[in-house]
């Protein structure tokens, strides 16, 4: 069975460096068997992949790609406190989508994160989820994703 890192490699991806916080918090913290991530923005190579509102300046397709990057950044944050990703199970995902008032495709955007977790973790990537439309996110990001993960013994 392939490890999460091997699955990432098959997708042409790798665990990125942990994205530094934009304020006074840590990217992830562990409490017992659980890891709680801070909201992860779609940062790649030190910059946001896109800015603006989904349904406005940002297409649903671009927002999906942003959610996927948020999930990849969450994997980095989880790895930084949990170590071995083979022991990680994704429990809950919350996707915040900065969107125009008439945009109702938040679940489809959030699928960018959910599908990546499934591809990387297999059955251990199946999770509960909320997809929430919001008026604005930090740095004018279109998507932010936070995760609760379990580290199995």
Judge whether 109 and 97 are in contact, CB under 8 Å.
yes
| Interatomic CA distance for residues 42 and 38, integer angstroms | 13
3-state secondary structure of 16: coil
Q: What is the pLDDT of residues 93-116, one digit of tens each?
A: 999 999 999 999 999 999 999 999
Does residue 1 register a pLDDT over 90?
no
Domain spans, the chain: 4-15+26-151
**The predicted structure's pLDDT at residue 153:** 87
Kindly state the percentage of the chain with pLDDT values over 90: 97
The two three-digit tokens of residue 27, written as one number: 């990217």
H or E element: which one contains 93?
Answer: strand 88-98
Which whole number is the average pLDDT over 14-30? Answer: 96
Judge whether 38 and 28 are in contact, CB under 8 Å.
yes
The answer to whether domain 4-15+26-151 has CATH 3.30.1330.40 is: yes
């Amino acid at each position: 069975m392939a490890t999460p890192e091997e699955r990432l490699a098959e997708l042409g991806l790798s665990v990125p460096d942990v994205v530094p916080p934009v304020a006074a918090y840590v990217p992830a913290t562990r409490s017992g068997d659980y890891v709680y991530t801070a909201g992860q923005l779609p940062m790649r190579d030190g910059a946001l992949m896109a800015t603006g509102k989904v349904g406005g300046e940002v297409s649903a397709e671009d927002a999906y790609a942003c959610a996927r990057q948020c999930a990849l950044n969450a994997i980095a944050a989880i790895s930084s406190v949990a170590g071995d990703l083979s022991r990680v199970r994704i429990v809950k995902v919350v996707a915040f989508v900065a969107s125009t008032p008439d945009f109702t495709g938040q679940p489809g955007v959030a699928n960018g994160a959910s599908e990546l977790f499934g591809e990387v973790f297999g059955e251990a990537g199946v999770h509960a989820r909320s997809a929430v439309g919001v008026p604005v996110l930090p740095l004018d990001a279109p998507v932010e994703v936070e995760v609760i993960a379990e580290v199995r013994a």
